[in-house]
Amino acid sequence: MTTLITNIGELVTNDPEADDPLGIVEQAALLIDGRTIAWVGRADEAPAADQQVDAGGRAVLPGFVDSHSHLVFAGDRAPEFAARMAGEPYAAGGIRTTVAATRAATDEQLTAHVARLVQEMRRQGTTTVEIKSGYGLTVHDEARSLAVARQFTEETTFLGAHVVPDGDADEYVALVTGPMLEAAAPHARWVDAFCETGAFDADQARTVLGAGVAAGLRPRLHANQLGHGPGVRLAAELGLTAVDHCTYLTDDDVAALRDSGTIATLLPGVEFSTRQPYPDARSLLDAGVAIALASDCNPGSCFTSSMPLCIALAVREMGMTPAEAVAAATAGGAAALGRDDVGALVPGRRADLVVLDAPTHVHLAYRPGVPLVAQTWVEGRPA
């Protein structure tokens, strides 16, 4: 079964071979064969298809790849947000309130909650999402959190090293790298740690990632969110695919990222929701560091599921152009997950795409807060 989407006013392909960064084709069409892209080009040169969809001159772009989220949780922290907006600072320890609610929830409750959030993301154009554990923090609760996440995505991340729930940090790291990892690994693709004052130091993070790699998982890291620290340099030293947050960076940190080729995943919804300064995307890009944008959707520091909001914030607050922000939210997220089957609309890739109620991708930043996603297609079908 082939479907031709035609009369596309602006098609963002992210074609790596194209001259402009987004690989834009105007007056375009796109042929889907089953679940994948079979052809892209000018509408007047399009091949025949079993069925045809008229995009009405609107923009079509790759589905957003949200490479960082924490969707498996229970409970609500709206009062903490309101208190923060009244002047209280954000601290890593707030995670513990979500941990208590998550442990008390049934698998069915957690699954229903993730389903609701994934559906919310779909409506806003996200077609690939990474989901972390990290609100269970016991062997049983981390394993079941990941089993819940696996029902929705292949991109699951074991984040037992989110915060020390109670007791001694080194004893907890031994639990994370021992029985908890053993129970979690069958449900996870990635291992992650929160390397931050109040969470885990660089040695502990190194231990956790090393154990995860030995168990067959791929490493990633939360680093330099709340202040300067060793996390970003550790990520560069270990040659991680991506390191996430990167809000407080020294010149040495930026040079280390450039030299290692580690992608900086920026999460501007966090700074929006915590009133912290935004990461300096402009100087990272100018230094030659690749950037991904992601939501970090979580109940504490950032409860948005909206990639369009992240794009608007990246443009307005972080010095990115609309084209750079859209690339970072699509191809950038795919690269941060080590994926070459999503993030671009070129033959052979998954037919994951967004139809915007707008003539150009620029409207994602130009019209912030407006629900511009008209349709989200996942693997060749409207979702």
* Residues engaged in binding Zn ion (CB under 5 A): 296
Least distance (Å) between residue 101 CB and Zn ion: 18
How, if at all, do strands 291-293 and 263-266 pair?
A: parallel
- Which stretches within the chain are classed as H helix? 78-85, 95-104, 107-123, 139-150, 169-175, 181-184, 202-214, 231-237, 251-260, 268-274, 281-286, 307-318, 322-329, 331-336, 363-366
Least distance (Å) between residue 26 CB and Zn ion: 37
Tell me whether residue 3 or residue 225 sits nearer to Zn ion (CB atom). Answer: 225
Tell me whether residue 55 or residue 199 sits nearer to Zn ion (CB atom). Answer: 199
Least distance (Å) between residue 297 CB and Zn ion: 9
Tell me whether residue 141 or residue 296 sits nearer to Zn ion (CB atom). Answer: 296
Least distance (Å) between residue 382 CB and Zn ion: 30
The structure tokens listed for 239 are 């040659």
Dmax (CA) for the chain in angstroms is 67
Return the amino acid letter for 59.
Answer: A
The residue of the chain with the least Cβ separation from Zn ion equals 296
How, if at all, do strands 221-223 and 131-132 pair?
A: unpaired
SS3 98: helix
**How many other CB atoms are found less than 10 A from the CB of residue 283?**
13
Least distance (Å) between residue 96 CB and Zn ion: 15
Least distance (Å) between residue 177 CB and Zn ion: 20
Tell me whether residue 199 or residue 320 sits nearer to Zn ion (CB atom). Answer: 199
Tell me whether residue 189 or residue 361 sits nearer to Zn ion (CB atom). Answer: 189
Could you give the CA distance from residue 371 to residue 111 in angstroms, rounded to a whole number? 26
Tell me whether residue 73 or residue 377 sits nearer to Zn ion (CB atom). Answer: 73
